[in-house]
Amino acid sequence: MRFAVLGPLEVATHDGRAVRVPELKVRALLACLLAHRGRVVPAERLIDNLWGPRPPARPLGALRARVSQLRRALDEAEPGARELVVSRPPGYLVDGDTDARRFQEAVERSRAMTGPGERAALLAEALSWWRGPAFADFAGEPLVHAAAARLEELRLSALEDYADARLALGQDASQVGELAELAGQHPARERFHALLMRALYRSGRQSEALEVYRALRERLRDELGLDPGPEIVALHQAILEQRPGLGRPPGTPAPLPARLPEPLTDLVGRDDALADVVALAGAARLVTLTGAGGVGKSRLALEAARRLAGSYPDGAYLVELSAVPAGSPSEAAAAVAAALGLHADGPADPGERVAAAVGGRRALLVLDNCEHVVEPVAKLTELLLRAGPGPRVIATSREPLGIAGEVVRQVPPLDPGAAVRLFAARAAEAAPGFALTPGDAEAAELICHRLDGIPLALELAAARVRSLGVRALAERLDDRFRLLSAGRRAGPAHQRTLRATIDWSWELLTEPERVVLRRLAVQAGGCTLEAAERVCAVPMPIPGGPPGDADLAAEAQSVARSGAQSVAQSGAQSGAQPAAQPAARPDIEPGEVVDLLSRLVDRSLVVRAGDRYRLPESVAAYALERLREAGEHERVLRWYATYYTQLAECAEAYRSGPARHRWLRRLDAETANLGGALEAALSLGDTRLAGRLTGSLGWYRAGDARAGHVVHSAGSAGRSAGRSAGSPA
């Protein structure tokens, strides 16, 4: 039996089959025992951890019952595994293998090695075992917290050792981005800053290395009242003096300007898109690739740039912008200057310096991950292209840059066949010997469909095949954000897990955009613009619809107004100025939805097909979580159920006459939403609304065989609801 704690708690048999440990307290018990690494945990401490100040009537008996459940779950998965949970006075222990123990042993072995190559290889393998924070789902438990903190400290130390070994191998410029990100995440950790200073200095960027030290010194003094330690002070002095010992190790090649990185994997399913981008970039001066997070914009842009590089005598360069702070014009320009190897001489403004240096060159720039700095990048790109006819730019962003001459191409998800090929290829890389069997093909197609054909999500899912298998993976996709939390070790932080990718897009939205996105998530089969306006905003009766729902709209508007008034009153009572209370803004109005929806389409979070709008499944799952967090779920479900009830009642009013066929087509298009609205009404306990919906669809179900499945699954419940509400069923 194998226990994994370097991330969410997981249990697997020796042959890699996942083991389900039922009930939260049983899993918490296992986490507490694993955190103590084979040492006995007293029963009293376990009881206190599991139940806190309100233990059950017979706490020892309750603890024994949880231990018994744990043993049974392990034994059912692997006979004999119950013996791993040992009862030993004064409590219990788990005698099992964990990835944390293997990680610690690997780190200790690496420190005994003398060769940087062997040390780097071992540390890279050990760090790849991390799937997230240690004991991610139980790190707050008192008996687990200390172990989680100890493991996190060991991970950071291993990352420092790994970077140090790579510096010894001469890998300087390639590490600058990663070390800058780590130093930013851990602003008081001096060793990350020292490693970054060394990498910058060896890459010919002495002034930037000195700036790292200056910023660290000021931060330590301002926030902690401390000075930097003697080791980093000595490194700073050595850089000032340009001591020979800071140079690259003997035998390593001299640093070159960072250009296009070599791909680590093949590009799958993008032949037509690649040919299109290559043709466009050969003719247009600015091509922007847009699309959803994780869809493969960066990979496609880099492959196109590699194909075109021979046509640019002054080189093709990658400028990675993900680490640039949002809305920072100077730092965006500085990132471009650094990628091009430009020095600080020339115009003081970084943008002007880039334009002056590149304007006369025939060079190709790939500006990657522009969405959070889209305005400064747009200004810089326009300045760059106006400086001369030679430069060409391929940008990747979740929305266009919006400047003259820009050619925009949206990168779509992979088609079903290409998605399955990519999933199978990445699964074979993660699990040697893996081959997609005919028996697993249907499950693989389901995985690719439910993950919207997004390459990042498919690659994260493929990494799970080794421990779960294809079918079990498909069965667990309802919990996709936990399942796909085994992030990449390299690359920008927002591209390492599925949740981080969507988090990145969410954080870039305005509050009104977030409101519309999370409310759209209740639409079961996509929706029209009218439906979005009625469900995402304060509801009003549908034009021409039957009376009886004006009270709901009036009630919703009253709730919004009273909520705003209460916020303003509470602010006045506390002495705050009303103008400083953004929450006092009324709810979204229907007229605002069209503009907000257009912005979400531009940001690749909503897909428009014809006259309908839909959310990709992963975005919808994420938005539903946000809807519940905002406390709006039941409220929006009621608006949703009411709108489609009104729609069905309008259709019923036109069930005969020349408009009949138009309304039949409309109801056909809303099949999923009509069923979803009935489920919503029943889940809210609104039997009257459910009865109105089923009653108004009676003619449609009776007269058209295509519609039999609309509400059939909830038919008996709907008919019962209709009778109790006094409406025809």
Please provide the DSSP assignment of 416-429 as one string.
HHHHHHHHHHHHHH
Residues 302 and 233 in one domain: no
Last residue within a domain, chosen from 394, 410, 426: 410
* CA–CA dist 579, 584 (Å, integer): 9
226 lies in some domain: yes
Give 40: exposed, middle or buried? Use CB within 10 Å, 0-12, 13-18, 19+. Answer: middle
Q: Where are the beta strands (DSSP E) in 486-547?
A: 527-528
* CA–CA dist 432, 428 (Å, integer): 6
Residues 450 and 428 in one domain: yes
Residues 593 and 604 in one domain: yes
Residues 682 and 541 in one domain: yes
* pLDDT of 125: 85
Give 86: exposed, middle or buried? Use CB within 10 Å, 0-12, 13-18, 19+. Answer: middle
322 lies in some domain: yes
Between strands 364-368 and 392-396, the pairing is parallel
Indicate whether 578 pLDDT > 70.
Answer: no
* pLDDT of 246: 80
Last residue within a domain, chosen from 466, 481, 505: 505
Residues 474 and 486 in one domain: yes
197 lies in some domain: yes
Residues 477 and 512 in one domain: no
250 lies in some domain: no
* CA–CA dist 68, 76 (Å, integer): 12
Indicate whether 454 pLDDT > 80.
Answer: yes
CA 675, chain centre distance (Å): 30
Contact 589, 537 (CB under 8 A): yes
* Domain coverage including residue 206: 172-243
Residues 639 and 541 in one domain: yes
Structure tokens at 151: 């493991």
Give 700: exposed, middle or buried? Use CB within 10 Å, 0-12, 13-18, 19+. Answer: buried
Residues 696 and 548 in one domain: yes
* pLDDT of 574: 33
Indicate whether 229 pLDDT > 90.
Answer: yes
Residues 613 and 705 in one domain: yes
Indicate whether 193 pLDDT > 70.
Answer: yes
Contact 176, 196 (CB under 8 A): yes
251 lies in some domain: no
pLDDT band at 562 (very low <50, low <70, confident <90, very high): very low
Residues 485 and 556 in one domain: no
Indicate whether 512 pLDDT > 50.
Answer: yes
pTM: 0.59
Residues 354 and 441 in one domain: no
259 lies in some domain: no
Q: Where are the beta strands (DSSP E) in 377-442?
A: 392-396, 406-410
For the chain, how many structural domains are there in total? 5
129 lies in some domain: yes
Query: Where is average pLDDT lowest: 97-106, 371-380, 536-545?
Result: 536-545
Residues 618 and 676 in one domain: yes
CATH of the domain at 339: 3.40.50.300
54 lies in some domain: yes
Last residue within a domain, chosen from 110, 137, 168: 168
Residues 281-309 have a mean pLDDT of 90
